Amino acid sequence: MADGRGITPPKKTRRPGGRRSAPDAVWNRVRIDYLAGSSAAEACRRYGVGLTAFRDRAAREGWRRMDQPWAPPPNRMEAWDEGVLLDDQVKGDLDKIHLRQLSFVAHRRMMRAVLRGEPAEALRWRRVRLAMDLEDAELDRMTGQHESIRQDRAGWAELEAMDRAEQAARDRGETDSPDSSDPVF
């Protein structure tokens, strides 16, 4: 052009005040927590770093869990968690746990998720609680039906035994039964 300006637009400069990267010490703690078993989202939330930045750095620096030596997964539950306490109480014997107890654990975890501001997790625990309540109601219904059937069968067996006793008495010629016919009438 005649005025000396080229036809290419001028270079854009980065705006001041953009988001800065966290210090290396913070990233080191994020890496340690992640490799110890925390989820990426959990580690990012704990240290205030972005999930996209985390994924970029993890890929660049090789933080993949599959590259790490195997270790059993850590128990992420706190020692005071109702589920941990219940498991300790029954010493791992799942047959000793009632569905109402599991519903209570799910309800408490749902409440904690709400307090932490995690609505999706709260809804998941709510669905678990409702499923436990429905299962418990179904077991109660089935138990009631089985008990009723058992009582009916016991009642019929008792009636059949009484009928056999009366028949045996009639066969022997005994007429002590209150249902026997009285020749006076």
Residue range 101-131, pLDDT digits in tens: 989 999 998 999 999 899 999 999 999 999 9
The set of residues, in sequence order, having a beta carbon less than 8 Å from that of 109 and lying 6+ positions away, is: 81, 82, 83, 125
Radius of gyration of the chain (CA): 37
Task: Give the pLDDT confidence of 47-85 residue by residue, as tens digits.
Answer: 999 999 999 999 899 887 777 777 776 666 777 788 888
